[in-house]
Structure 1
Amino acid sequence: MVIRRATLADAIDIAKVHVDSWRSTYKNIIPDEFLKKLSYDQRTDLWIRNISKEGNYVFVAENNEGEIVGFADCGKKEKNTVTESGDLTSIYLLEEYQGKGIGKQLLKQLFLQFQALGFNRVFVEVLEDNNTRYFYEYYDASLLKSEKITIAGAEMNLLIYEWNNLNQVLSKF
């Protein structure tokens, strides 16, 4: 498994992982009609913008055949006004690659990036029904707050977690 910084040439493969992982991760959480409408082309455009955006850091996980099977990204969201802090925006893996330690490797890469940026606090948002929240909790994320959001007409709880000791997180790898 190789973890590396994404390039613009990776956008189409990241988009495929994004759509496919959302369809498996959010099945029975987000309405099916929303998941069915997800588009590889639209997500490719999104990832071209994300990779190109200054201050955004996108990493990919490649299997032994060089295929992208997961990705993660981080930076600082515009709505984040906390000094010396950043946001873990996403970690997604194809379903068949989950539970193999790849998410852990991607998380480590993100935290090394946060450390290099001089951040001392990190936030992540995750739907309450998404089991990934337990992954974040394992790595010492503390629940900061919960808020209601609506996706495709369905109301859900969005949990906002925080890490305030990056060295403690990095010591777990």
Structure 2
Amino acid sequence: MAIRTAKLSDCRGLAEVHDAAWRFAYRGVLPGNELERMISRRGPDWWKKAVNRRVPIVVLESDTTVRGYITYGASRVRTLPYRAEIYELYIQPEYAGLGFGTRLFRTVQQRLARRGHDSLVVWCLAENIPACAFYERLGGRIVSTAEETFGQKPVAKVAFGFEPIESDGSEP
């Protein structure tokens, strides 16, 4: 398994991981038609635009196939004391629970630390129990809650705050 910055040739793989991971994580949590709408808009063309705009995307690759990804950047919630945010972390369902999500998370956490971001936040749907447990195991603590509406359904979400880490100086 390799972890690296996304490139244009990854766009189809990114779309496939997004599709599979979202169906796995959110079926039964989000309304079905809303879930399908959200998945369908994230095809290869969407990812191509993201890569071309230099959205920070790091991929997990095995045998030239994207198996997971993470996106990150500036925190979108200015009222929280976190300057950086991990927006998404998704792994193909068959690779979940094997430590690859932790490797992706720590890679980005170290990249952010080297750029002077002393802490970060991750938002997660509260009903996504495996994801919430994952962020807690990584040392996140709940620092905020909110609600987002998907279709007509209000869904609770939680923010996990992560305190500063020490960068080891290497580029993971």
- TM-score, normalised via structure 2 length: 0.86
Distance 2:131 2:76 in 1: 24
One-letter identity of the residue aligned with 1:30: L
In structure 2, the partner of 1:140 is: 139
Deviations 1:94-127 (A, max 9, x none): 1111011110110111111111211011011100
How is 1:88-167 mapped onto 2 (pairs within 5 angstroms)?
88-130=86-128, 131-167=130-166
- Contact 2:73 2:86 (C-alpha < 8 Å) held by counterparts: yes
**1: CA distance, partners of 2:165 / 2:5:** 20
Cα distance in structure 1, aligned partners of 2:117 and 2:95? 30
Aligned residues: 165
Task: State the identity %.
Answer: 22
Q: Which residue of 2 aligns with 1:171?
A: none
Q: What residue number does 1:10 align with?
A: 10
Work out whether residues 84 and 118 of structure 1, in 8 Å CA contact, stay in contact via their aligned partners in 2.
no
Contact 2:143 2:161 in 1 (8 A): yes
User: What is the CA RMSD across the aligned residues, in angstroms?
Assistant: 2.1
Q: Deviations over 1:4-37 (max 9, x none)?
A: 1101221221011111110111111111122233
Give the direction of change, closer, same or farther, for the CA distance of 1:53–1:79 in structure 2 (3 Å limit).
farther
TM-score by length of structure 1 reads 0.86
